[in-house]
Each structure stands twice: as C-alpha cells, then as structure tokens.
Amino acid sequence: MNDLPSVAQRFLHYVAIDTTANPESSTVPSSPGQLELGRILRDELIAVAASEVHHDSNGYVYATVPASPGYQGPVIGLVAHLDTSPDAPGNSVRPIVRPPYDGSVLTFPADSYLTLGPREHPALLDHIGHRLITSDGSTLLGSDDKAGVAIVMQLVADLNRSPTPRPELRICFTVDEEIGKGIDYLDVDRFDPQVAYTIDGSGRDVIYAETFNAASLVVRINGRAVHPGYAKGLMINAIQLASSLVGRIPLRERPETTSGRAGYYHVHTLGPADVSHAEMRIIVRDFERGGLEARIDQVRTWATEIEALHPGSQVSVAVMHEYSNMRDAITHLDPRVMEVAQEAAHAMGVRLTSEPVRGGTDGARLSERGIPTPNIFNGGHDYHSVLEWNSVENLEHSLAYLKSLMACWAARCGRPTTN
C-alpha cells in the first residue's frame, strides 16, 4: 500500500469505515460511522493546517483554505458526502487494489459467482493498465462518495503545502446524501460560498450540470364497500380504480423503458389499499419544467376521467415539489462555474462531457438555494452495488483536475501582486 499515491491511501483508509446511511433512523446523521469518519477528517484537516475546521453535532465537517494573495473572485465551495448507499452492504469493506488491468473478467474472493467484465461493463476497457480498486465482492466499495472525500482532502493537504495561486475554498462534507437528506442540516451561513462543486459524479472527465425537475404525487382514491354478493351497481372498488390509473401510464414513459433525456412516471408505492380506499405515490420526472407540469396535469386528467367513469368515487391528487433542474440556476446565477470547469479540463488536454443526472444530487438543492453547484467526476463506476469500482489512476486524475480547476479560477480572477 505504501507504493500508492497519497490520495489512494486516503481512499483505502476511508472506505474501511462503515458509513452506510440508514433510512429507518431518526438520528442525524443516520448512522454512527458517519460521525466517526467526520472526526477523522476533522483531525486530518487540523493536521494539514486548514482554517476554521468544524465538525458539528449533525456530523457535517467544514473547513476553509484561504485564497492566495490578490485573488478577487468568488469563494468556491467543494462538497462530498460521508455516507454510502444502503442499497448494498457497507460494513467491513475490504478493498482490493488489483494489478494493472488487462481487459479480462475480474473475480471476487468473497463471492465465487460474482464477476466484473467488459461485456456488461464496457467502461472497463477505458481503464487498461489501471490499478483497479474493488471490494472483495461482499460489500460495495464506497467510492460513492469516499473517492470525493479523499480527493478533496488530498487537495487541501497539497494546497496548504504549496504557494500556488488559488481561490478561497470552503470545504463541506455532508451526511445522509444517499437518503436524500444531504442538505437538510447544512449550515449555509457557515459554508457560504458563491459557487460550488460536488465531487460525486461517476466516470472520468464528466460534469453533471442538469438534473430532472422532480415532483411526488399522492393519489387518494375513495370507493364504496358493499357485500360482494350483493354489489352489482353499488360497489366501487378503490383498488380497481388505482390499477386503472396505473394502467394509463404509457409503457414508454416508465423508468424501466427510459434513459438519457427522457422523463417518466413511476408508481413508487401502492397502499394501504382496500375496497373503500386506496392510496399511491407516483413520482414524476422531466428535464423541462414545462414537461414536468404537463405530466402533473396528465395525472390530474386521468384522476378526473376515472372519477367520471365511476360516479360516487373520489380521486384526488396532491403534488409535492421535490427539486428543480439545476441547469437554470447554474447558467443564470454564474455561467463562469461551467466555463472555468471546461477551461480546467482544456488545460489538461482533455474534454469534459456534460451528462444529465437522472436523479437528485446535493448540488440540485444547493443550486436552488442560490449556490450554483454542478457535480464533478470522482472516477468511480457501478455505484450502489457490490461491483462498484474505481482506480488509483482515476483518483489521481480527479485530484489533478481539481488542482487545474483551482488554478483556472485563480488565473481568471487573480490580480498580479506588486511585491
């Protein structure tokens, strides 16, 4: 392990701590391991002489790296999350650093049936010669988002060792991102950057600056219960009405049939349901605000149709806003966030591709609060599964990219010092 670069050593250290988010928990953070990792990061930040290091009672870790003299640009926030997904086991993670990858199918010591190969995971072929990092097959790896944490920590350590030009940096490690609560207890006054980046995206040389517009609809159906033997013309079965509404969702507008920029309707839960009452939650997603509104109207129309077909029934639709596409906030609030991100890649001789996120991110909610926050790659792949992987080289590349990003902000917003 000692022959590995520092960012990879940090990563291997952090993934060993179980920070699985617990959706059933009522505590903040939802699992004790997140506090444990937060304490380690706090101590390491103090050791590398970061400023204003603070680990709060909710588990968030904050720190500042002062700007180099003459910097006049915005304060830049960097965000990564401490927790890992509850979708796969995250306790006793035993990471394996593999020999340089040769394109073959990888096997796992803890599960002889499990394989990771380029046929199902073609991105592997872009990593020939990389030292891939996986779990032993019994857990996820935790690259989402301990890769982001390790990269940011290494950036802070390296910047504090060298006099290179940089903006003022505000670091924030959040908790419970994986259960949708990453921003709930964020102390915005303490964090307070003008623009930010989350380091939480999969892949290499990718920036994610678009999310769905998202809403959650609760459909409540009241029917009429009557003895089934004497129900003719009287019974209105709420379960039948619910299934009739579900059946109206076009086959091609469901999560299992959509990808890329296509939105969807998703019946998330159905129940409690009996003859007299049924309730379901439908989530709707669309990259365009107008598209989301149209989907919400469509569900209302279906509800009205079903009510009209069954006199005596009631079908109501309650709408809850979840999050908005961050693209609009990012481009309106400060277009430099994306411009400098591209410049930083260009300076390294690579091109950033921009991909939409088919889900929410901390950045979407920060952007809604007025801090434009796209999401930057951290090198990992196949998140939320026991097949999750990253590579030593990807971690180094992501770190180099962040350094380039800082240098580009400094070059754009710095003023030459006179002495």
Contacting residues toward Zn ion, per CB under 5 A:
144-145, 200
328 noted as active-site residue:
no
- Is 52 designated active site? no
Which residues share a beta bridge with 389? 134, 381
Closer Cβ to Zn ion, 143 or 313, answer by number: 143
Please say which residue, 144 or 210, places its beta carbon nearer to Zn ion: 144
Give, in degrees to the nearest 5, the angle at Cα 64 between 412 and 338: 35
> In this complex, which beta carbon is closest to Zn ion, that of residue 95 or of residue 182?
182
CB of 200 to Zn ion, least distance (A): 4
Strand partners, 250: none
Q: Where are the alpha helices (DSSP H) in 162-282?
A: 188-191, 238-247
| CA 271/CA 279 separation, integer angstroms | 5
Q: Are 159 and 166 in contact (CB under 8 A)?
A: yes
For residue 211, give the amino acid letter.
T
Rounded CA gap, 265 and 139, in Å?
31
Active-site option among 18, 144, 145, 177: 177
Minimum CB separation of residue 205 from Zn ion in Å reads 18
Residue 168 is given by DSSP the state -
- Walk across the sheet containing 195-201 and list its strands: 51-55, 61-65, 169-174, 76-81, 195-201, 375-377, 206-211, 353-357
Nearer to Zn ion, 291 or 360 (CB): 360
Closest approach, Cβ 144 to Zn ion, in A, equals: 4
Q: Give the three-state DSSP class for 88.
A: coil
Least CB distance to Zn ion at residue 95 (A): 17
Classify strands 106-108 and 213-222 as parallel, antiparallel or unpaired.
Answer: unpaired
For residue 145, cis peptide bond before it (omega within 30 degrees of 0)? yes
The Cα–Cα gap between 83 and 81 comes to: 6
Strand (E) or helix (H) holding 255: none
Task: State the residue for tokens 């917003």.
Answer: 413
Q: How many helices (H) and strands (E) does the chain have?
A: 10, 17
Query: Of the two residues 15 and 241, which places its CB atom closer to Zn ion in the complex?
Result: 15
Structure letter (DSSP) for residue 141: -
**∠ CA 408-414-419, rounded to 5°:** 130
Angle at 217 (CA atoms; ends 213, 220), nearest 5 degrees: 175
Q: How far is the CB of 22 from Zn ion (least distance, A)?
A: 16
CA distances from 122 to 117, 203, 381 (A): 8, 12, 11
Q: How far is the CB of 202 from Zn ion (least distance, A)?
A: 9
Of the pair 44, 200, the CB lying nearest Zn ion is at 200
Find the catalytic residue in 18, 44, 83, 178.
83
Closest to Zn ion by CB, 144 or 286: 144
Please, what is the minimum distance in Å from the beta carbon of residue 198 to Zn ion? Answer: 8
Please measure the distance between the N-terminal and C-terminal CA atoms of the chain and give it in whole angstroms: 43
For the CB of residue 201, give the shortest distance to Zn ion in the complex, in Å.
8
Residue type, 265: Y
**Is the Cβ of residue 145 or residue 388 nearer to Zn ion in the bound state?**
145
The residues annotated as belonging to the active site are 83, 177
